[in-house]
């Protein structure tokens, strides 16, 4: 530094400025905290009374883990998403699958062998036939080690065509269900799916839904719902999934019914079943970028005078990995709970789920000891509970991706991205075992179900732990051993546990040994869960229509709803009178109206004519009957079949049947349907003259309704 007469003062000023610059730099760097070691992180958890955490695996054995599974031989696998949140360049993907081992038997993983490498956006895995099904968009792979070195030497594409852009919205969350199907979340993304090994099978478009498939019969199809990361099933095959803000949703109608035809006004099935919506109790403050982004958004909403609130904390925004607890190591009151990670809130939330008595869906509520706290929460902002897994020991395993930042960069303003390092944490990862204080100490059992006889596997279908039941059923499905059919029939007929009876029923189905007599027995089972599944199976047997029809009056609204859906699969001559009963008994519930309209018989003009002839329900002009008429006319309009449209207009002109309210609602629905983009066929040019000749009376309201209809459809002709 150049010296002057006041050189000492200049030196002092320079030092002060330098210290200020260093201080500012440190403050900028310290917007985000440093990582903790596994031992340190363990000290930052608060967990529900009666439980504790045990460290099961950590870096370097696992890094950026997102899912785990154990196969029928007791081999544990974990999938790592090393590229998150970016899409890798072709051939440079960091996604891995590792086989984990606890060689010294101390209850903690000490060895990891790389099973597969270079997997782009790999998110989920499921054991199958001695190998693994792997979700890595745009593909679903089958991978297998045939040499015994825990390294995959078979890699086969089973399905392809899935959305592969945003890594937070890929095909994921494989779950094998009691009905012998494998379900997966697709987040409603677009995709045209093919099976390369079966080129003769037609492609399936899955936009707007999820996905399911069977490998024993090579079936695949679009499923209802738009789950993101996290999906689970209860003991009866009811499906629940997470999607960021909505931490627990349920599809209201299975895809096999919702997509029977493409003309419903709304084919979205997602139902938020939480009674506490977005509320959560986190211990961490919001990160700088989230708080700043939320404040900016709120200022924008306020400037536009929008009645909208942007939350930066204490509200779900990163729900992930919802998992049904079906184990046998926790107190009985925890059985059937669904545990969901919240990666932005650094916590694990628990819901108690139960079927509602007034609607054919479930409810989810907080536990009595978690009214103002979460089941697990940490004040370490690096804690990222992305998923959970139920193990054969009856414990839940908590998968912690352990990252400094977990968010797609696409949703963060560029100036906030400047000091964010999305690679911070890609060398970390933890898996914790959630253990009940009251349960005897357990370690992961050693087993090899492949060495078990088929008869022993049948016995496992009655195991108190859902993991053993599903794993044994999957293995029996693979074997196709017909010798166990008598054992399965006996279990179905005599076992006191309804869960075992349901597994036996579907195992008989998987062995192609189901018949009308067995399903007839199931329709009369004491368990509503079995009766509900039996309704679905009864669709195959014309002789079971009458007992199925009788379940429209079942004490369980869940069963009655499934019966209403299944009845629509029968010929119109039998199903239409029953569907009229559905509307008369349950017409006030929108889901039952959708059940009727989703069927081909229930959305036909002969059904509408019969409804007017045999019932007074539609003429009541109540809110529910008007809504049904609007939706029915919409379907007629969107199909644009000239004979159907003319038949509806002719019916509208019959003032002895039609009151003003139904006429107006039908015209409105018909216009919306004709304008819909679901069907690009031109409307019948004769519509104008037909509507103009409607004998709708002379009230101004009806004239206005006709004029509005004319204006709405003019550009479709």
Does the residue 499 lie in any domain? Answer: no
As a whole number of angstroms, the distance between CA 112 and CA 611 comes to 65
The answer to whether residues 687 and 633 touch, using CB atoms and an 8 Å cutoff, is no
Long-range contacts for 10-13 (Cβ within 8 Å, ≥24 apart)? none
Bond from prior residue into 60 cis (ω within 30 degrees of 0)? yes
Does the residue 301 lie in any domain? Answer: no
Local confidence band at 609 (pLDDT 50, 70, 90 cut-offs): very high
The pair phi, psi for residue 632, each rounded to 5°, is: -60, -45
Distance of alpha carbon 652 from the chain centroid: 41
Total tally of structural domains belonging to the chain: 2
225 CB contacts (<8 Å, ≥6 apart)? Answer: 185, 209, 210, 239, 241, 249, 251, 255, 269, 270
Does the residue 474 lie in any domain? Answer: no
- The dihedral built from the CA positions of residue 330, 331, 336 and 339, taken in this order, carries a sign that is negative
Coil/strand/helix, residue 45: strand
Does the residue 489 lie in any domain? Answer: no
Does the residue 38 lie in any domain? Answer: no
Does the residue 238 lie in any domain? Answer: yes
As a whole number of angstroms, the distance between CA 579 and CA 603 comes to 10
Asked if pLDDT for residue 19 goes beyond 50, the answer is yes
pLDDT of residue 702: 66
Provide the β-strand partners of residue 433: 54, 397
Helices (H) and strands (E) in the chain, counts: 21, 28
Asked if pLDDT for residue 20 goes beyond 60, the answer is no
377 CB contacts (<8 Å, ≥6 apart)? Answer: 45, 46, 281, 282, 283, 345, 346, 347, 348
Asked if pLDDT for residue 540 goes beyond 90, the answer is yes
* Per-residue pLDDT tens digits for 35-75: 999 999 999 999 999 999 999 999 999 999 999 999 999 99
* Per-residue pLDDT tens digits for 615-650: 999 887 789 999 999 999 999 989 888 888 888 988
DSSP 21: H
More confident of the two residues 487 and 120: 487
Does the residue 207 lie in any domain? Answer: yes
Q: What percent of the chain shows pLDDT beyond 90?
A: 75
Which segment of 352-356, 536-540, 668-672 scores lowest on mean pLDDT?
668-672
Local confidence band at 2 (pLDDT 50, 70, 90 cut-offs): very low
pLDDT of residue 8: 55
Look up the domain containing 709 and give its range: 604-717
More confident of the two residues 283 and 689: 283
pLDDT of residue 686: 62
432 CB contacts (<8 Å, ≥6 apart)? Answer: 53, 54, 55, 56, 397, 398, 400
DSSP 637: H
Mean pLDDT of 174-180: 98
User: Given 436, 471, 488, which residue is the final one in a domain?
Assistant: 436
pLDDT of residue 13: 58
The answer to whether residues 667 and 633 touch, using CB atoms and an 8 Å cutoff, is yes
φ/ψ bin of 208: left (φ > 0), alpha (ψ from -120 to 50), beta (otherwise): left
Nearest to 83, CA basis, from 318, 430, 422 = 422
Asked if pLDDT for residue 24 goes beyond 60, the answer is no
Asked if pLDDT for residue 128 goes beyond 90, the answer is yes
pLDDT of residue 1: 42
Asked if pLDDT for residue 442 goes beyond 80, the answer is no
* Per-residue pLDDT tens digits for 198-250: 999 999 999 999 999 998 998 999 999 999 999 999 999 999 999 989 999 99
Does the residue 511 lie in any domain? Answer: no
Mean pLDDT of 90-115: 93
pLDDT of residue 441: 77
- Residue 383 belongs to a domain with what CATH number? 2.120.10.30
**Polymer length in residues for the chain:** 717
pLDDT of residue 171: 95
Please report where in the chains the tokens 């399905």 appear, as a residue: 159
Asked if pLDDT for residue 715 goes beyond 70, the answer is no
Local confidence band at 693 (pLDDT 50, 70, 90 cut-offs): low
DSSP string computed for 458-480: HHHTT-SSHHHHHHHHHHHHHHT
Local confidence band at 600 (pLDDT 50, 70, 90 cut-offs): very high
Asked if pLDDT for residue 700 goes beyond 60, the answer is yes
The answer to whether residues 50 and 367 touch, using CB atoms and an 8 Å cutoff, is no
Which segment of 119-123, 355-359, 443-447 scores lowest on mean pLDDT?
443-447
DSSP 543: G
Beta-carbon neighbour count of residue 14 at 10 Å? 11
Average pLDDT, the chain: 91
As a whole number of angstroms, the distance between CA 602 and CA 595 comes to 9
* Per-residue pLDDT tens digits for 372-421: 999 999 999 999 999 999 999 999 999 999 999 998 888 899 999 988 99
More confident of the two residues 120 and 62: 62
User: Given 394, 420, 436, which residue is the final one in a domain?
Assistant: 436
More confident of the two residues 652 and 344: 344
Highest-scoring range by mean pLDDT, 25-39, 255-269, 546-560: 546-560
* Per-residue pLDDT tens digits for 443-453: 788 899 999 99
As a whole number of angstroms, the distance between CA 327 and CA 297 comes to 43
As a whole number of angstroms, the distance between CA 600 and CA 221 comes to 19
Asked if pLDDT for residue 4 goes beyond 50, the answer is no
User: Given 404, 419, 436, which residue is the final one in a domain?
Assistant: 436
More confident of the two residues 652 and 400: 400
pLDDT of residue 330: 97
pLDDT of residue 388: 98
Coil/strand/helix, residue 223: strand
Distance of alpha carbon 576 from the chain centroid: 32
Beta-carbon neighbour count of residue 29 at 10 Å? 10
- The dihedral built from the CA positions of residue 498, 500, 501 and 503, taken in this order, carries a sign that is positive
pTM of this structure = 0.92
Written as six digits, the tokens of 633 are: 């006319």
More confident of the two residues 2 and 49: 49
């Amino acid at each position: 530094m150049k010296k002057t007469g006041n050189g000492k003062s200049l030196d002092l000023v320079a030092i002060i400025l330098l210290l200020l610059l260093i201080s500012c730099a440190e403050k900028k760097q310290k917007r985000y905290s440093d990582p903790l070691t596994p031992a340190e992180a363990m000290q930052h958890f608060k967990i529900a009374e009666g439980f504790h955490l045990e460290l099961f695996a950590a870096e370097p054995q696992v890094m950026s883990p997102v899912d785990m599974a154990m196969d029928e031989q007791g081999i544990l696998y974990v999938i790592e998403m090393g590229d998150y949140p970016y899409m890798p360049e072709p051939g440079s993907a960091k996604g891995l699958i590792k086989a984990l081992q606890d060689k010294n038997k101390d209850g903690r993983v000490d060895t990891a062998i790389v099973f597969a490498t270079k997997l782009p956006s790999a998110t989920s895995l499921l054991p199958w036939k001695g190998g693994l099904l792997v979700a890595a968009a745009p593909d679903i792979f089958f991978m297998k080690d045939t040499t015994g070195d825990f390294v995959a030497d078979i890699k086969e594409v089973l399905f392809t065509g899935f959305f592969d852009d945003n890594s937070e919205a890929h095909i994921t969350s494989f779950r094998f269900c009691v009905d012998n199907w494998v379900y997966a979340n697709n987040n409603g993304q677009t995709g045209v799916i093919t099976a390369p090994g079966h080129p003769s099978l037609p492609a399936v478009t899955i936009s707007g839904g999820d996905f399911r498939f069977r490998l024993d019969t090579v079936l695949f199809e679009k499923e209802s719902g738009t789950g993101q990361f996290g999906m689970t099933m209860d003991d009866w095959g009811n499906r629940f999934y997470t999607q960021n803000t909505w931490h627990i949703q349920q599809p209201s109608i299975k895809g096999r019914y919702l997509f029977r035809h493409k003309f419903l006004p709304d084919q979205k099935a997602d139902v938020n079943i939480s009674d506490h919506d977005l509320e959560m109790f986190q211990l961490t403050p919001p990160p700088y970028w989230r708080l700043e982004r939320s404040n900016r958004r709120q200022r924008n909403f306020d400037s536009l005078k929008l009645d909208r609130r942007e939350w930066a904390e204490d509200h779900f925004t990163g729900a992930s990995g919802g998992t049904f607890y079906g184990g046998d190591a926790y107190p009985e009151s925890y059985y059937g709970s669904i545990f969901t990670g919240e990666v932005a809130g650094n916590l694990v939330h628990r819901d108690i789920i139960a079927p509602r008595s007034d609607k054919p869906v479930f409810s989810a509520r907080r536990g009595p000891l978690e009214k103002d706290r979460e089941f697990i929460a940490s004040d370490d902002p690096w804690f990222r509970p992305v998923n959970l897994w139920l193990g054969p020991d009856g414990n839940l395993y908590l998968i912690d991706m352990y990252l400094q930042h977990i968010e797609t960069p696409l949703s963060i303003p560029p100036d906030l991205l400047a000091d964010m390092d999305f690679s911070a944490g890609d060398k970390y990862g933890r898996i914790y075992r959630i253990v009940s204080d009251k349960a005897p100490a357990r370690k992961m059992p050693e087993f090899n179900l492949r060495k078990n006889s088929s008869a022993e596997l049948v016995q496992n279908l009655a195991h108190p732990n859902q993991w053993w039941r599903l794993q044994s059923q999957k293995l029996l499905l693979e074997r196709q051993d017909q010798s166990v059919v008598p054992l399965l029939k006996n279990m179905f007929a005599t076992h006191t546990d309804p869960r075992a009876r349901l597994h036996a029923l579907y195992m008989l189905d998987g062995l192609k040994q189901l018949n009308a007599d067995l399903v007839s027995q199931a329709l009369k089972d004491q368990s509503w869960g079995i009766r509900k599944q039996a309704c679905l199976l009864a669709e195959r047997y014309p002789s079971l229509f009458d007992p199925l029809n009788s379940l429209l009056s079942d004490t369980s609204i869940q069963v009655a709803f499934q019966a209403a859906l299944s009845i629509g699969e029968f010929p119109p001559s039998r199903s239409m009178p029953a569907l009229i009963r559905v509307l008369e008994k349950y017409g006030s519930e929108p889901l039952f109206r959708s059940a009727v309209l989703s069927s081909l018989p229930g959305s036909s003009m002969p059904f509408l004519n019969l409804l007017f002839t045999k019932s007074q329900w539609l003429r009541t002009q109540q809110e529910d009957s008007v809504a049904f008429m609007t939706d029915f006319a919409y379907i007629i309009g969107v199909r644009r079949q000239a004979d159907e449209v003319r038949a509806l207009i002719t019916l509208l002109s019959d003032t002895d049947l039609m009151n003003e309210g139904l006429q107006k609602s039908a015209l409105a629905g018909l216009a919306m349907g004709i304008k819909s983009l679901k069907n690009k066929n031109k409307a019948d040019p004769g519509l104008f003259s037909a509507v103009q000749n409607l004998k709708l009376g002379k009230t101004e309201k009806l004239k206005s309704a006709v004029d509005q209809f004319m204006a709405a459809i003019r550009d479709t002709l």
